[in-house]
A and B are shown apart, each in its own frame.
Chain A
């Protein structure tokens, strides 16, 4: 039995009559290496651990955490959580998750070769990526080239019978680039992710980092107009992340989702089928259990444009009279579980990005967006982001453009989806990327 699970068990065993107690314990081991101009800039090796304890009594919740697994500190956390219960408001739906009989889909989340990877090799990956990137184009400089990995071990146990533990690890390399020509500088980035370094594609990361920067050299500010946009897979993944907050069961229960009264209605173009499936081993965010210890599972959220399901944790499900969809998400030991999507994917279409572009007379290929946190409101649906990319004219990619915004509303953008590409790209994000064509978006520039 895992040491962490035993620790969680010991906390749960100290529940008093009438109390529900949940303990979440985790330990992370992280490495970060940064290289600059062929030299090691920094090497960070760090272990963090901690515990979060949630107590529910008479419909009231209290919580406390500490960034240590010291025995006397844990006793203090338990006492604080118990004290905090006094100040919560009674809520008839509050309660810990109860095992629901759904089986865990086993995943290969732990890679022994990564765990055994020597520090020297980690430095070499970053150096090699820098070297390859500099070799792509003479106009490129590298701002930093990094390798990072993390190994997480966690356990959750509760008085309602949840007892789970697991561990996973993963690694990535990334490179930031600057392309300079005359007085002008543009920036780019590239990365590669894997369960182990064997999965890295350093050459691809180098090429993308170089291309992202160099193709924007000479970019101008476009004139304002309504256009069809093609979102690059990376941008689509970010867009889906925003959409996911409108499908959050907690937002629905609290009346804050713009789709709260739209179940079984058409909310998107019939081309759109959106699935959240953390049991898909291709997803870097794949997991066996959710933040409350229930089995992660596949949920169809939008089918052929029709809204079919929201995502829930135990609390939000109870409030709207349904069952948890296994979507409790937890940001570590410092908080209680919220609700969120884990591995979203749009059902892909049949054509690649060049074919999608070939059908567009007047449009824009959006290669990066800026300001998703500042110009998008998932409650009102207003969507406005800064962007850069390339003009599309008569089916061909043209001049680079920058310093413009694209704007619409989330509701309209889902309905205005014109085609989905077949170029699914699994990214280290909550959603998979795929090229996405959206009509009638306002481009604002000069």
Chain B
């Protein structure tokens, strides 16, 4: 097999700023796809993207920098049998697309010439997250002002505050997906995010507090989110931790506050329910559909249609409309998450979970917004029912080995529970558990569902925006990675 490396031809350039629909004409897509499968491949796909982004960094009391970014290009995937070839280009002209298509086709196969005619059927436009204030139409000075306001508020939170850093970011991305099955879909994704980290200094050393807010929406984010409250909360977390004692070590009951612990489900089972891990036998949940895999209290959903949430999409990055997918119902595993290739192999429909970081990446099975539905318990009762344990008010990141189900996640704000009451703050640390074990150990589930902070999920070197959420809940035993006896 021989593979050609391609280079960008810079002579032909598509119109700047145009929507991709106008940049790449339908007949061009049809010709490029036909050419990609001419050597006998059974599937070809064009994924084109045009993204503009702005970010602002404030640190140490100064606006360090405003950054403007532009990314535009197309990735072409060609599948023959079990082999996928992939190439991408920043050149959206027909010549540029054809060069990438040939590179991908050569990588996927070598075979006899077959002529196929591709007819594309445009999917109706679909709006999951409407936008009222496009960030590229907002003055940069207004974006900078948001951070200056955060800085002022955080610094006035107390004499212990020694440093504040804050970031703002927005992006407006147009995507277009066309494939030899006739799919033609376009979507516009607008995301806006703000975050703040506060450092405080005290007798026990330095501590940090962190808050963020991000939604699939435009600058109207700031009509919805009170940035002063965000800044005050980050400062409060840090100041509280100045009095924190070392976290316990060993296994204890853990109560996780509403909207702070969705990452637990993302790690404890979400990755293990992705069909690519299932297909290779690299998940503890393989072969468990129809079986009890969690406490009967748990109903887990992955929902790309959740308006405005960080992982919301109208179409996935393979052109499939986003869906509300029930993964676990009353503790019973109902289905996995699917992308095009894995669904095709099993002869079943996709679930709208084929996602990728950018046009430079192959799609794979990814989560969108993953959350647990409400239970019946009053959150206060959950704490009161716990004699001695840990109350986690804010979780950081986490990670999992889907093959074993062993996962960790970090607690960035936590307290001791003593005699049914939240008492002393604890220093940071990881919690560790095994997915199936922890899911079955959920013994109390609140009625106060909330979504959590925006997250980036990394898999195989690709990051995609995801959301998570849950009501307050209790795991009857988890191992706390502290240093106290």
Chain A interface (Cβ within 8 Å of chain B)?
Answer: 29, 31, 36, 39-49, 61-73, 76-77, 80-81, 83-84, 86-91, 118-120, 123, 141, 143-144, 176, 178, 185-187, 221, 224, 254-256, 258, 334-336, 370-371, 373-375, 377, 379-382, 384-386, 388, 402-409, 442-446
When distances are taken between beta carbons in the complex, the residues of chain A under 8 Å from B97 are none
When distances are taken between beta carbons in the complex, the residues of chain A under 8 Å from B56 are 87
The verdict on A386 contacting B408 (CB below 8 Å), with A39-B83, A87-B56, A379-B199 known, is yes
Distance in angstroms from B188 CB to nearest chain A CB is 19
Contact B67 A84 (CB under 8 A): yes
When distances are taken between beta carbons in the complex, the residues of chain B under 8 Å from A86 are 140
Contact A46 B87 (CB under 8 A): yes
**Which one of A65, A91, A176 lies within 8 Å of B62 (CB-CB)?**
A91
Contact B430 A371 (CB under 8 A): yes
Pick out which of these stretches binds chain A: B124-132, B277-285, B306-314: B277-285
**Which one of B66, B163, B407, B430 lies within 8 Å of A87 (CB-CB)?**
B66
Q: Classify the interface of chain B: helix, strand, loop or mixed.
A: strand
Distance in angstroms from A319 CB to nearest chain B CB is 9
**Which one of B1, B141, B396 lies within 8 Å of A374 (CB-CB)?**
B396
Distance in angstroms from B381 CB to nearest chain A CB is 28
Asked whether any CB of chain A lies closer than 8 Å to the CB of B291, the reply is no
When distances are taken between beta carbons in the complex, the residues of chain A under 8 Å from B401 are 187, 370
Q: Name the CB-closest residue of A to B85.
A: A43
Distance in angstroms from B64 CB to nearest chain A CB is 7
Query: 12 A-B pairs, CB-CB below 8 angstroms?
Result: A29-B5, A42-B86, A45-B3, A47-B8, A88-B62, A90-B62, A186-B404, A221-B479, A371-B398, A377-B208, A407-B429, A408-B483
Q: Name the CB-closest residue of B to A118.
A: B2
Within 8 A of A (CB), among B101-159: 103, 107-108, 140-141, 144
**A367 CA to B335 CA in the complex, in Å?**
34
**A113 CA to B259 CA in the complex, in Å?**
53
Interface string of B191-209 (1 = CB under 8 A from A): 0000000010100011110
Beyond known contacts A45-B6, A119-B107, A405-B429: 9 more, CB 8 A cutoff: A43-B85, A65-B69, A68-B72, A88-B66, A187-B404, A382-B428, A384-B482, A407-B481, A446-B251
Contact B206 A256 (CB under 8 A): yes
When distances are taken between beta carbons in the complex, the residues of chain B under 8 Å from A377 are 208, 428
When distances are taken between beta carbons in the complex, the residues of chain A under 8 Å from B433 are 403
Most chain A CB atoms below 10 A, which of B63, B85, B86, B249 = B249
Within 8 A of A (CB), among B403-453: 403-404, 406-410, 427-430, 432-434
When distances are taken between beta carbons in the complex, the residues of chain A under 8 Å from B6 are 45, 47
**A409 CA to B434 CA in the complex, in Å?**
25
When distances are taken between beta carbons in the complex, the residues of chain B under 8 Å from A90 are 62
Distance in angstroms from A225 CB to nearest chain B CB is 9
Most chain B CB atoms below 10 A, which of A61, A375, A402 = A375
Interface string of B347-389 (1 = CB under 8 A from A): 0000000000000101000000000000000000000000000
Interface string of B172-202 (1 = CB under 8 A from A): 0000000000000000000000000001010
Asked whether any CB of chain A lies closer than 8 Å to the CB of B290, the reply is no
Contact B249 A405 (CB under 8 A): yes
Distance in angstroms from A52 CB to nearest chain B CB is 9
